[in-house]
Amino acid sequence: MPLEPRYETAAPTPSDGNAMRGPARGAPVVGKVVIGCTEDWFVLSHFRPLLRRLRQIAQEVVVVARSSGRMGEIEALGCRTIDFDYNRSSMDPVREARTVRQLAALLAAERPDAVHLIAMKPIVLGGLAAAWVRPTHTVVHMTGLGFLSVSGAIRSRVARYAALRVVQSTLQRRGSWLLIENPADLAYMEQAGVKASGRVTLLGGAGIDPAVFSPPESLHNPKPVAAYVARMIRSKGVDVLMDAADRLAQLGVALEIELYGETDDGNPEAVPADALARWANGADRRYMGFTRDVASVWRRADIFVLPTRGGEGMPRALLEAASCARAVVVTDVPGCRHLVRDGVEGLIVPPGDAAALAAALEKLARDPELRARLGVAARQRVLSGYTEAHVEASIEQAYRAMLGQSDAQTVPSP
């Protein structure tokens, strides 16, 4: 059974909040662009703004991803699709080498003008394949450092070193460009010897539509509700949240916690479904499962909580909740701390610290005025540089600079 998306919203509708999108399609600035991404659902949940802008500036856009049965939705956006399995959970060198050869053959057949590689697995495998095929331009699109950045296992450290060397080699080629979602990840890569030599753009995450994710009417929950919207994996800190919930129950804090998302069988950090079922008691703790309508979550929940251990780029779920003027509780890790300022848009706690997480949730649960104040500031923060309009404009600017149609410069972080 194909793995479904963890969370997703319907395709955004035009709005004043996205007025920066610009005019309808004009003369293309690049020929064929091939996008490499692990899953079709990931493309649909995070990269509609990317597809929309590339369809305006490219003659053809081809999406190479594993199909979970949703390729037709991508094709409806004006893109051609190719079903390709990156074996994202594999660390078998033999299998990886076979995947690189298959991807190189695919690129040789397509002969793209630019290859746009999204997230670590396609970046590494696609970077190796592109070394054989040598497309004119390669875009390395980092969405966070992922599991490899938070795992201390020897195998993960070796894989991290190898992956960074491939990224370094890719970015050394003429015509390459780096898209990245927070300055800490950029600094981490530079310290590891991966340098883009000024050919880098800092994006405001994947971008969200502030009209789709708008502040709902005032909530009147008998008890405030804190919602976690993410994959059910340890690196996202869902187990820390479980521990914090136990502490809150012992203190008698009136707070309900809801989990939205699915476990991820393709991730070694996945929390088993039976563990989630045991944790949810159906009263003040509920496992809600997968939802495509995330905006509806923020019509009923008061607080967003993401106790991630790290590896984030700029969490889309965080942007969605902030755009809906929800107070947020996040950990002091890259991505989260670049959107949220402690005491301004939300509360920041150390990663892995269940006691601190429980204290932050208790504080917000007991103070509705604080929740409201933080929520208003959170939405203003999103509007300052994290909308779909901002991201689309940055992507086009990056492509034009890469193609030599404008001055190459680092686009500032929001």
- What are the domain boundaries of the chain? 16-209+387-402, 225-383
Q: How far apart are CA 222 and CA 336, in angstroms?
A: 29
CATH number of the structural domain 225-383: 3.40.50.2000
pLDDT at 364 over 80: yes
Task: Give the pLDDT confidence score for residue 283 in this predicted structure.
Answer: 79
| Identical fold, 16-209+387-402 and 225-383 | yes
> Which ranges in 324-387 belong to alpha helices (H)?
336-339, 354-365, 368-383
E strands, 206-284, where?
A: 225-229, 256-260
For residue range 186-206, list pLDDT tens digits in order: 998 998 899 888 899 999 999
Check if CATH label 3.40.50.2000 holds for domain 16-209+387-402.
yes
Q: Is the pLDDT of residue 410 over 70?
A: no
Whether the per-residue pLDDT at 24 is higher than 90: the answer is no
Q: What is the DSSP string of 196-213?
A: -TT-EEE--TT-B-TTTS
Q: What is the DSSP letter of 13?
A: P
Whole-model pTM over 0.85: yes
Please report the pLDDT score of residue 134 as a whole number: 87
In single-letter form, the type of residue at position 303 comes to I
pLDDT digits (tens, 9 = 90+) for 49-99: 999 999 999 999 999 999 999 999 999 999 999 999 998 777 788 999 999
Q: Please return the burial class of 413, using the count of CB atoms within 10 Å of its CB with bins 0-12, 13-18 and 19+.
A: middle
